[in-house]
A and B are shown apart, each in its own frame.
Chain A
């Protein structure tokens, strides 16, 4: 009896372990199968017009001169936190700057909301928010007025996970708004089919992905939806509620940071999320093309991001949206990212360190933007940004 029992027990345990072992290996292959990576079949594509646009040669190494120069006595380490939209480029800049100047820049990718909160509480030397700070937010900052310095141009792209469907699906702002409002719930909805004739869209429910944290990427995306989709605005209850760092998302799965949204998209079949383009490209996720104000469907790439500043008048604070550009060949969902720096610094070392870093970013650093799929600032905006840097003072005296 006892021997029989132990035999049964041992057998049961053995089967259990074997099942666990087999289960785990098949699950590993399962998870990669549900990723957005598409091998081969690219029955969609961006089209020849976009191919011409995106292969056009654009000057990605503007070689701006650093007119401020290096200020002596800068801190050896400066800390910053904020936008995940800009995080890949910050890490590129930080490693290049550390090689060039020996200074460590520690940047925490916590979202624009977190960056604004951090600079308000003065727990970091600089913050970063893709849509800057509102006057109310600036007045809540402990250290006085905050300068907003644009550093890059980037695109927010609709990224999806559809087995067998390649990159290049066409979207319009109103269709995207209806999807995010929960009105369009299936990939084979007639509205999507009309935009993409000849693509056999599967009958799969759309798993909408959005941000769960305070996000400048969200602000750019919802600004675009507010401009283009009346359905989105009415579902959210008005233009004040339908755009912002956070909104009351009617449907969808929440992810933390661009990183988290890319996780939801790559792990969920049928997902649709909005991501900064480097996140989509570096993870080999499939993204689509979006109709701009002139009615053209544009692929997000550096030549279509750069014209977003054409015809834009920047206010004195430099804080403005760049969506729905007027150029006929511009990608419509473009944004920048603003470094948030106190105008009146208390420490000379920190002030010098900040000015040195950002003047480097605005000159040599701009040549690195394209390596992570951002566009460099145009010369007009670059000069405005440098002018902001010059406003930094310590004890009343300008640093630069």
Chain B
């Protein structure tokens, strides 16, 4: 799904018409360009309105104090004092990052495997049905994933997590990150749900990358007597590394912005960072969704806009980076 290259397909004879027709042509062109301008305005407007809504809090507390604390306590806020900033947002960045990373750690290997299967292993007549079926995962709405997550996924995860807390959780050092107790809602549960949700996108990009591997290199490997797996390992995967990386980054970008499914399974504990991945937390998106409509404390609503601003910046940076990596891969192959 690349962006359409701005190639104009206008015939060279345009513009040489006289009279009233020239006026209607110009009016039409203006209307079309105005619509394009609206698109630019939408993005600019999003950024501008977020900044202006967040501005009172940014000015009162200072830009960096939000990043300096992991304590979000709106009940501590007072209209007068600016120290300390009760709206520390580090734990939301932590929650967003952690759940997205867990999601990608699960989704990326699965996506590569599925894409390899579809493009290289499955018979040709199965390719389209399989890829369409995997794409169906993207059609399921977020609220349904969250609902299913609470009632179907959590009971299924209990034995898995109990195993992990009793083994990894006892290891000195990293054991803290895997410590119980597990109450069902947690960073980890949100990560698993995110993995399922970003899988179709990552798979689709990996499929495109694998499909564009030059056939002659694959055939050369096979001609030398390699098995199919060796051919994949030698001819397909090494060339696809940056494409897979791009897919991973784009999947990460999608996971960062996910709100509703995460809110329903992450436990909504906003005070500070919880060290265990099986503990409750919150993400930037989930805290906005939960607290927005009744943020009546001083600077509460504005601070939520600060969270939204950071979420926008991070999501845009990740998505643009991913697009650049994927596009560069395509250019290589072409």
Chain A positions within 8 Å of B, measured between CB atoms, are: 2, 5-6, 9, 23-24, 27-28, 30-31, 34, 110-111, 113-114, 116-117, 120, 137, 205, 207, 212-214, 241, 244-256, 264, 267-268, 270-271
Contacts and interface: CB of A to CB of B under 8 A. Distances in A.
Q: Which 9 residue pairs spanning A and B have beta carbons closest together?
A: A254-B268, A205-B181, A248-B73, A30-B155, A113-B294, A114-B294, A207-B183, A212-B268, A253-B267
Contacts of B268: 212, 253-256
A213 B294 contact: yes
Contacts of A111: 294
Interface in B256-272: 267-271
Contacts of A244: 75
A249 to B, nearest CB: 6
A97 to B, nearest CB: 27
Contacts of B267: 253-254
Given A27-B151, A27-B155, A113-B296, A248 B271 contact: yes
A220 B321 CA distance: 50
Interface of B: 71-76, 122-123, 126, 150-152, 154-156, 180-181, 183-185, 267-271, 280, 290-291, 293-297
Given A5-B123, A30-B155, A267-B150, A253 B183 contact: yes
A34 B75 contact: no
9 contacts: A114-B293, A212-B268, A212-B270, A212-B290, A246-B75, A248-B271, A254-B280, A256-B290, A267-B151
A207 B181 contact: yes
A195 to B, nearest CB: 22
Nearest to B72: A248
Contacts, number: 96
Contacts of A137: 296
Nearest to A243: B75
Contacts of A256: 268, 290
Nearest to B274: A251
Contacts of B123: 2, 5-6
A20 B75 CA distance: 45
A253 B152 contact: no
A207 B290 CA distance: 20
A254 B74 contact: no
Contacts of B181: 205, 207, 270
Contact of A268 (B122, B156, B184): B184
B269 A214 contact: no
A39 B283 CA distance: 38
A351 B273 CA distance: 48
A229 B198 CA distance: 46
Nearest to B271: A248
Contact of B151 (A31, A110, A117): A31
A34 B152 contact: no
B180 to A, nearest CB: 7
Scoring B75, B123, B152, B267 by chain A CB atoms within 10 A of each residue's CB, the highest score goes to B75
A252 B269 CA distance: 7
A248 B293 contact: no
A46 B72 CA distance: 39
A205 B276 CA distance: 15
Given A31-B155, A254-B268, A254-B269, A268 B296 contact: no
A313 to B, nearest CB: 28
A270 to B, nearest CB: 7
Contacts of A250: 271
Contacts of B271: 248-250
Nearest to A222: B75
A251 B280 CA distance: 9
Contact of A246 (B71, B74, B155, B185): B74
B47 to A, nearest CB: 26
Given A246-B74, A248-B72, 19 more contacts: A9-B122, A27-B151, A27-B152, A27-B156, A31-B151, A31-B155, A116-B296, A212-B291, A213-B294, A214-B296, A241-B75, A241-B76, A244-B75, A248-B271, A249-B271, A253-B185, A253-B280, A267-B150, A270-B181
